[in-house]
């Protein structure tokens, strides 16, 4: 077999393995996409918005201003070396902090389909799409 046949065989095997995997996230041939949701669950004056600014090494998602119960959603892919990191600056009511909203090594198997964040008065809670929430960051 020549080199081109080996390459095509490996490519076909990779496709079959990835298409048969049990990923619950969006998939295409080369990338697995995870959905990240950040919800403003803060109490108090509805006119006080939560400022969210998320980005990774190459992509800036811009500034978002979330009213109470409003959700910001973005998709993140797993890169080959599992280094993809989206971090977010959060500001509300004179408080500010950064969180790692999506980190490939941490979230590849933890989230599976949905990486959900609830921003509350006492911190930042994570859920993998079920009803169980864990506080992972404080203001």
Question: Which regions of the chain are under pLDDT 50?
Answer: 11-25, 29
Output the CA–CA distances (angstroms, integers) from residue 43 to 49, 119, 135, in the order listed: 10, 10, 17
pLDDT tens readout for residues 40-59:
999 988 778 999 999 999 99
Q: Number of helices and strands (H, E) in the chain?
A: 2, 10
- Smallest CA-to-CA distance from 50 within 33, 63, 32 is with 63
Q: What pLDDT shows up at residue 10?
A: 53
How many residues comprise the chain? 139
Q: What pLDDT shows up at residue 124?
A: 98
Output the CA–CA distances (angstroms, integers) from residue 91 to 51, 120, 136, in the order listed: 5, 12, 17
């Amino acid at each position: 077999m020549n080199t081109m046949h080996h390459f095509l065989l490996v490519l076909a095997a990779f496709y079959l393995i990835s298409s048969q995997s049990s990923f619950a996230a969006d998939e295409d041939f080369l990338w697995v996409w995870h959905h990240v949701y950040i919800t403003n669950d803060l109490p108090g004056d509805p006119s006080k918005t939560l400022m969210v600014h998320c980005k990774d090494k190459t992509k800036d998602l811009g500034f978002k201003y979330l009213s109470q119960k409003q959700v910001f959603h973005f998709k993140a892919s797993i890169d080959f070396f599992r280094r993809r990191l989206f971090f977010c600056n959060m500001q509300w009511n004179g408080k500010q902090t950064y969180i790692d909203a999506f980190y490939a090594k941490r979230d590849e198997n933890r989230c599976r389909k949905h990486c959900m964040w609830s921003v509350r008065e006492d911190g930042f809670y994570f859920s993998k799409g079920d009803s169980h929430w864990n506080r992972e960051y404080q203001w």
